[in-house]
Structure 1
Amino acid sequence: MKHIALIAACDRSRAIGKNGKIPWNIAGEQQRFRQLTTGQTVIFGRRTYEEIGHPLPCRETIVVSASRQFSGSHLQTVPTLAEALAAAKTEWVFISGGARLYAEAMPLAEMLYLTEIDGFFQGDVFFPPLLAGQFARVAEERHDGEIPYVYVTYRRYTKNGKK
């Protein structure tokens, strides 16, 4: 059985990008992404993948795009999220942006791994809002520094309302 998770970093206004780039550069902030996704499948939308520019090491990378093809070692392109999920062979599948892919995958996710940046940055792309009663905040790990942030883990409530 595949487990689906969304993984993102966002600021207090839920901004995740500006002009195709991450609007902050915080030393160590991406460490959790690497720890969680290594050995698993990461699914990106085309623009997010183009920002990165290459497959991530030690992960299967699937790009959702109807307009471009990317291929290589541990890299494939499919036209829809459904096809990306079907192509994933690992236990965990991490949806890693952009905004449209997050919104489409949100109803399927059992876990959210968010890095909540303690600040406001200029953004033009935003992580979708969390609807009340869908997810429970089950863990957090604070990191102080010039720009503080918190690694937050959310788990979807089950049908009977339990975590």
Structure 2
Amino acid sequence: MPINLIAAMSLNRVIGKDNKIPWKIPGEQKLFQRITEGHTIVMGRKTFESIGHPLPRRTNIVLTHKKGYIIPGCIVINHFSEAIEDDDQKNIFIIGGEKIFKLFLPYADHMYLSIIQKKFEGDAYFPEFSNDDFQVLNEEQIEAVIPYRFIHFKKNSRISMTDKKSGLEPEKTVFSI
């Protein structure tokens, strides 16, 4: 099952501030909706709480350390490997936040990134990754209130969940925007 990361980040990698997205760009969230509808999405508890409700037309999985946490309309899990145990899932989209992206980045097959062409102040960041690990499949410049680049990346190689369980950790990687 393909693991996909989808995010919008600023030029300085900001994805959030005070549990909110620090920009409003008409159309950018429609892109997110179009790509993720009909699929499973995985998010951390804080991301879910900032959204405030399950996203429609998707299977919503919330990852949290809080035992007994119940959210109507969502599947709540306590370990990231539980998110990918269902072999029937065709696509899984990781939608944040920062800690969740860091957990899943080593296993991502694809990334869909909207890179907002401006720097913002923030307290949550998209993790660094290497140009060597991913190839660009498609890139589109989108003119909007704040222009952004939408880039679809495909990973060149993948660390398996077995490797993660055995303690193999990926090296820190860097991608320049």
TM-score normalised according to structure 2 size = 0.84
2:153 corresponds to? 154
Shift in Å, 1:132: 3.2
| SS of aligned partner of 2:85 | helix
Shift in Å, 1:70: 3.1
1:71 corresponds to? 71
RMSD: 1.5
For each residue in 1:49-79, what CA deviation from the matched residue of structure 2 results, as whole angstroms up to 9, or x when unmatched? 1000111110000000121623323x11000
Aligned pairs, how many? 157
| SS of aligned partner of 1:32 | helix
Contact 2:116–2:149 under 8 Å retained in 1: yes
Any residues of structure 2 matched to 1:5-84 within 5 Å, and which?
Answer: 5-67=4-66, 69-73=69-73, 75-84=74-83
Report the AA paired with residue 71 of structure 1: I
Separation in structure 2 between the aligned mates of residue 20 and residue 88 of structure 1, nearest angstrom: 32
5+ unaligned residues in a row in structure 1: which ranges?
none
Residue 98 (1) aligns with residue 97 (2): yes
Residue 152 and residue 39 in structure 1: after superposition, are their counterparts in 2 closer, same or farther (change >3 A)?
A: same
Shift in Å, 1:90: 2.2
Residue 88 and residue 61 in structure 1: after superposition, are their counterparts in 2 closer, same or farther (change >3 A)?
A: farther
Separation in structure 1 between the aligned mates of residue 37 and residue 150 of structure 2, nearest angstrom: 17
1:110 corresponds to? 109
Separation in structure 1 between the aligned mates of residue 66 and residue 83 of structure 2, nearest angstrom: 15
For each residue in 1:63-119, what CA deviation from the matched residue of structure 2 results, as whole angstroms up to 9, or x when unmatched? 00121623323x110001111222574200000001111011011100000001000
Contact 1:9–1:16 under 8 Å retained in 2: yes
TM-score normalised according to structure 1 size = 0.91
Q: Structure 1 vs Structure 2: percent identity of aligned residues?
A: 36
Separation in structure 2 between the aligned mates of residue 11 and residue 158 of structure 1, nearest angstrom: 26
5+ unaligned residues in a row in structure 2: which ranges?
159-177
Shift in Å, 1:150: 1.3
Contact 2:26–2:144 under 8 Å retained in 1: no
List structure 1 segments (4+ residues) > 2 angstroms apart after TM superposition: 70-73, 87-90
Separation in structure 2 between the aligned mates of residue 146 and residue 78 of structure 1, nearest angstrom: 38
Contact 1:63–1:70 under 8 Å retained in 2: no
